[in-house]
Amino acid sequence: MRISGQLLWRTAGFFSLLSFLLLATGFFLALQPQVLAPSKAPSPSQAVIPAAPPAAEGIHKVVALGDSLTRGAGDANGQGYAGLVRQALEKKSKQPVTFTNLAINGQESPDLLKQLSKDQVKSLLAEADLILFTIGGNDLFKQTGGLYMIEKEKLAAATKELTANYQEILRQIRALNKKAPIIYTSLYNPFGNTEAAAETIMPVLDWNAAAVQISADYSQVFVVPTYDLFQNKESEYLFTDHFHPNAAGYARIAERIMQALE
């Protein structure tokens, strides 16, 4: 019996979406330890987002890394999610927070690895109380031919390289700083309401699931989901370039990160 390509895509997409929903559910349950007590052998989702997150009041030095999402591209206020998290931390602790944003527009995972080799970056990370970063959007889509020209072979190769680089990024950061929480903001799909939706939903969901699995091998690494924040709300929360969040979109990401910290 022959199964159409469309049916295969829908079936695979269903299971990817189901995996995301399980991740998001685990995230919110983990923020409520009275609902879900930690077991002796935590599952990967519990290990990534533990029931006892770090206290926001103890965070005085924040270092941000990654790409244009951490840089705040698209935010007319110039804050981005990282700047908003800093403001929220200062408001909560009533103390100033030293904030260093090392993110670079257009950066991909190989570029971030090179940046981590610099002595000044190493020093800043070693002293940080909290490390924020984003990476992966440019890896997956920048070199694939554009918004409506997704090349599946290049996308698969980019995902494989991103997976290896992400693991090495976490390894290097954790080697420099044994204790500081590391928050990775996972990917949303900016193409969800475009003709490229069918070709981009699965790669984004699959990558987010891979990031969770990799992060579970490292202590104090939090993967914060954002896919649902923008799903079916692209016109409301994306900037005019239809790739980066606008000010309201960044505010939603920052709010979710603070939920993890509080």
26 plus 129 within the same structural domain:
no
Give the span between the Cα atoms of 146 and 237, in whole angstroms: 21
Segments of the chain with pLDDT less than 50: 1-22, 24-52, 143-146, 148
Are 136 and 234 within one domain? yes
User: Does some domain include residue 40?
Assistant: no
For residues 252 and 143, membership in a common domain is answered with: yes
Same domain, 14 and 82: no
Give the pLDDT score at 188.
Answer: 96
Q: 78 and 173 share a domain?
A: yes
The reply to whether 45 falls in a domain is no
Question: Which pLDDT belongs to residue 53?
Answer: 52
For the segment 140-176, what is each residue's pLDDT rounded down to a tens digit?
987 444 454 678 888 899 999 999 999 999 999 999 9
Shared-domain flag, residues 113 and 19: no
For residue 42, being part of any structural domain is answered with: no
Whole-model pTM: value is: 0.79
Q: Are residues 111 and 13 in the same domain?
A: no
Q: Are 130 and 75 in a shared domain? A: yes
* Count of domains forming the chain: 2
Same domain, 27 and 79: no
pLDDT in tens, 199-213: 889 999 999 999 999
Judge whether 81 lies within some domain: yes
> Is 41 part of any domain?
no
Asked if residue 55 is part of any domain, the answer here is: no
E strand or H helix that includes residue 201: helix 197-215
C-beta neighbour count of 155 within 10 angstroms: 20
Q: What is the CATH number of the domain that holds 89?
A: 3.40.50.1110
Give percent above pLDDT 90 in the chain: 65
Q: Specify whether 13 is located in the same domain as 99.
A: no
Helix segments in the chain, DSSP class H: 5-30, 44-48, 68-71, 80-93, 109-115, 119-127, 137-141, 152-176, 197-215, 227-230, 234-237, 247-261
Domain shared by 26 and 146, yes or no: no
Question: Are 78 and 204 found together in one domain?
Answer: yes
Task: Using alpha carbons, select from 234, 239, 200, 221 the residue that is nearest to residue 71.
Answer: 239
Q: Show the domain range for 27.
A: 5-35
Report yes or no on 134 lying in a domain. yes
